[in-house]
Amino acid sequence: MKQLRKNINRVALFLCALFVLLAAWGAYSLNTYGNRWFSSSANTFARSRKKDVTAGDILDRSGVVLATTVDGQRVYQGEAAARRATVHVVGDSGYNVNNSAESFFATYLYGFDMSFLERLSFAIRGEQRRGDTVKLTIDSRLETYIASIFPSGKAGAVVVMNYQTGEVLAEQSFPTFDPQYISASVKSDPQKPFYNRAVQGLYTPGSTFKMVTAASVIQHFSDYAARQFQCDGVLQLGNRVITDAGTNLSENKITRHGALSLQRAFQVSCNNAFAQAALQLGDLRLKKTAEDLGFNDNFLFRDLVVENSSYPTLNRTDGEIAWTGAGQSALTASPLHMCMIASAIANKGVMMEPRLLLSATAPNGTQRTGFSTREYRRPLTAAQAEVLKEYMRAVVTGGTGTAANIPGTNVCGKTGSAEIDGQEFTNAWFVGFMDESASPYALSIVVENAGGGGSVAAPMAKKIFTWMLKNGYIQ
């Protein structure tokens, strides 16, 4: 009998432990995935409840109304250019843009967090309940300006963020569309205007990935500064041939850089040198650095849903490892993630969580939630970040990114020209930041099928940073 009681007690304790674990997992899941589940189109409960609530307003960081409700209909900014420029972050009433503010912040916009007393107050007054006002971190003026300079007819994305706080000032995808007037042609457009390339687009990062390869060399080789690489223009590895920009083997035109240091190789974006660096590192060490910087991670941010960037794990031949070091192979990354990497370098090795929500304010004026920063990870030491910062500064002052240079401002960056099968031109990249304590801003630009990063994306970076400095982005 005593043994039976002991067994029953053990089973009871085991069941209690399982219950506690289940409760803990439920709380964790709700906190981590709550907004994702709530904003899902499969949430029929939320859809039915929305009919009884007037959706709250969406504002930009300066208080500009981006979306409001008039006579039961969702209405967006009065100026068409501004509506189009902000549509991917704000969304539309038909929820065509996945995980936009209209859907992702529905908990606040439709008053699902209201207390019983708040609901009772509306009932006593005989009014339909109204949701919270949501203020975003984005600047609609900045987004409208960026849209005005983005190459016409091209697809791509631009992200601008504060690298000290994680505030996303611009999150743009191209082509855009007008949320107020969605035509049939928009729905059938092969460039997929509803697709948010800033956070959903997974691109080959091209030479912008050399930030990661350089970081790995700095981390693993104490002689990184003195280490030399020899670029003879062509590196044959199995069926892979690594060449540099300007090389045309059929015409016997070969770009050769000769002997280079790591800094010089980074400055002129030498593929051969970074292919050799990847082989010297080995796949495991390069992969470890990439994963420290967010590759192969499951991004779970409070305010944004971001597709996971990937470092390849299959077919890891010497040719593929070398091509990975130069930023090609099967690498993929989102524009927002590449902006986060540049931000970590600018921020002394600290990568901040990107934030899109400044505040949610109840109809009675009570602040439901406010802005807070959160450190995502520390992938680099301050010393390592400082070396990479110097390398990126050299790119802008005397390398492939001189078109991004602003006299009197320390702009740092890395260009990229990612080769994509089937495209006439490469995807043009620029990732960089202002190394200015009063203007801690980083950006990431990708223009699809457009040409060189130094000639297409770098000039855009200069224009964006110049606009920001002229329009109050000096703390």
Task: From residue 420, give the alpha-carbon distance in Å to each of 177, 271, 316, 428.
Answer: 26, 16, 19, 11
CB 206, CB 327: distance < 8 Å: yes
Neighbours of 259 (CB within 10 A): 11
Element (H, E) at 9: helix 2-39
pLDDT of residue 4: 58
Q: What share of the chain is helix, strand, coil (3-state, %, to 5)?
A: 40, 20, 40
pLDDT of residue 27: 46
- Residue 165: closest CA among 467, 441, 474: 441
In this structure, which long-range contacts are made by residues 119-124, counting pairs with CB atoms below 8 Å and at least 24 apart in sequence?
A: 121/364
The pTM of this model reads 0.90
Q: Which residues contact 325 (CB under 8 A, 6 or more apart)?
A: 210, 213, 274, 275, 276, 277, 278, 279, 281, 286
Task: Measure the CA–CA gap between 114 and 1, rounded to whole angstroms.
Answer: 54
CB 306, CB 338: distance < 8 Å: no
Can you read off the two tokens belonging to residue 209?
């990935």
Each residue's pLDDT tens digit, 159-217: 999 999 999 999 999 999 999 999 888 888 999 999 999 999 999 999 999 999 999 99
pLDDT of residue 197: 97
- Residue 173: closest CA among 464, 445, 462, 469: 445
pLDDT of residue 320: 95
Q: Residue by residue, what is the 3-state secondary structure of 103-168?
A: HHCHHHHCCCCCCHHHHHHHHHHCCCEECCEEEECCCHHHHHHHHHHCCCCCCEEEEEEECCCCEE
Task: Identify the segments of the chain with pLDDT beneath 70.
Answer: 1-12, 14-51, 115-123, 125-128
Q: Which residues contact 209 (CB under 8 A, 6 or more apart)?
A: 324, 326, 327, 331, 333, 416
Task: Measure the CA–CA gap between 342 and 384, rounded to whole angstroms.
Answer: 13
pLDDT of residue 112: 81
Domains of the chain: 206-354+375-470 (3.40.710.10)
Burial code (b: 16+ CB inside 10 Å, e: under 16) for 373-388 equals eeebbebbeeebbebb
Each residue's pLDDT tens digit, 327-367: 999 999 999 999 999 999 999 999 999 999 999 999 888 89
Give the largest CA-CA distance in the chain. 92
CB 271, CB 314: distance < 8 Å: no
Query: Which neighbouring-strand residues pair with 444?
Result: 159, 431
pLDDT of residue 5: 63
CA-derived radius of gyration, the chain = 25
CB 426, CB 452: distance < 8 Å: yes
Can you read off the two tokens belonging to residue 35?
């907004």
